Homo-oligomer: A and B are copies of this chain.
């Protein structure tokens, strides 16, 4: 039994606060988590309030049509309900898409969101990657021509590196790809990228004109609901209708649904969080320059700093209660650090300074 799973590895999530409490005996209040690109400003206040009021309805399954949430998203993006599918995080929409296509080959950047590879392998696909770590559309096209993968993943901006393709280049690329290949545009961090540079903005509405493009978005990052697992896919009705065939009933919780509906009404909270994110990011860039550290210009809520002996540095930060993501497993001597709140970042700078000098 399970012979076909022999090559699959288990995904290693970022260390949770609970584990650092257990392993290092540090008090939860003294732990700074800058490892999972969560929104440091918390969930939207309207979502918190609504969830508290709805907690007594946890015994009830949610409205499985997700009517009100889809209405909210349809209005926000100027599209129709029928162009939307809701997932338990945008991850689950990726899973629906991969399962729906059952690809023999998929194509992605060498360093990109780990779940593309994990889900694709679960469905037996061969993984093709560009030689460059960051997205390079020429390389994507060369491999596409030779290998004709059934799915191409574009992470715009890219997690875990932070770089971002220009929207016009993406659209030009899409035009060159045959309609039998599904192109997935993962927009998990689009709110950040489009705020920083309008040239990076992929409008979900714009993908509807393509027969073979699926856009995915999430409430986990800018909307501050990472723990509630709500994401969405946007595409033409034919794609969405097919993905729905693979959606299990009640795939988000009653409280997740409520929180996401309310988060959409709290755009001011989201905007302020993004503004602060880039103000704080400037401090990381300044810190890097002052200490002669290279970094990747980021269009997200995290930054990759190249640091010698990153694994050791990450461990030493952990002992001080600061959780960051070591990039050694990607072959980089670097840390991926989520941009935290002012005081969190300052504490990190102070400790990191001591470790690298």
Instruction: List residues of A whose CB falls within 8 A of some B CB.
Output: 1-2, 4-5, 8-11, 13-14, 16-19, 22, 33, 36, 38-43, 47-48, 51-52, 55-65, 67-68, 88-89, 91-92, 95, 99-102, 115, 119, 122, 179-180, 182, 212, 224-229, 238-239, 242, 244-256, 259
Contacts and interface: CB of A to CB of B under 8 A. Distances in A.
Nearest to A58: B43
A177 to B, nearest CB: 13
Contact of A228 (B63, B99, B115, B255): B255
Given A5-B246, A43-B55, A255-B255, 5 more contacts: A16-B61, A41-B59, A42-B57, A122-B245, A253-B256
Given A55-B52, A58-B227, A227-B58, A248 B115 contact: yes
A302 to B, nearest CB: 14
Contact of A249 (B9, B13, B180): B13
Given A13-B249, A52-B55, A249-B11, A18 B255 contact: no
A47 B41 CA distance: 25
Given A1-B182, A5-B100, A65-B19, A250 B55 contact: no
Contacts of A89: 248, 250
Max chain B Cβ within 10 angstroms of own Cβ: one of A13, A55, A95: A55
Listed from nearest, the 3 A-B pairs whose CB atoms lie closest are A227-B254, A43-B58, A13-B64
27 contacts: A1-B212, A1-B239, A2-B100, A2-B242, A4-B102, A5-B245, A10-B247, A13-B61, A14-B61, A17-B60, A18-B63, A18-B67, A19-B63, A22-B67, A42-B58, A48-B58, A51-B51, A57-B227, A58-B227, A61-B227, A88-B251, A91-B249, A99-B122, A115-B248, A228-B253, A228-B255, A255-B256
Contacts of A9: 245
A194 B122 CA distance: 37
A221 B36 CA distance: 33
Max chain B Cβ within 10 angstroms of own Cβ: one of A5, A59, A88, A179: A59
Instruction: Please tell me how many copies of the chain the complex holds.
Output: 2
B59 A224 contact: yes
A39 to B, nearest CB: 5
A206 to B, nearest CB: 20
Contacts of A212: 1
Contacts of A42: 56-59
A4 B104 CA distance: 14
Given A92-B248, A246-B122, A43 B65 contact: no
Contact of A1 (B180, B247, B256): B180
Nearest to A21: B63
A327 B177 CA distance: 48
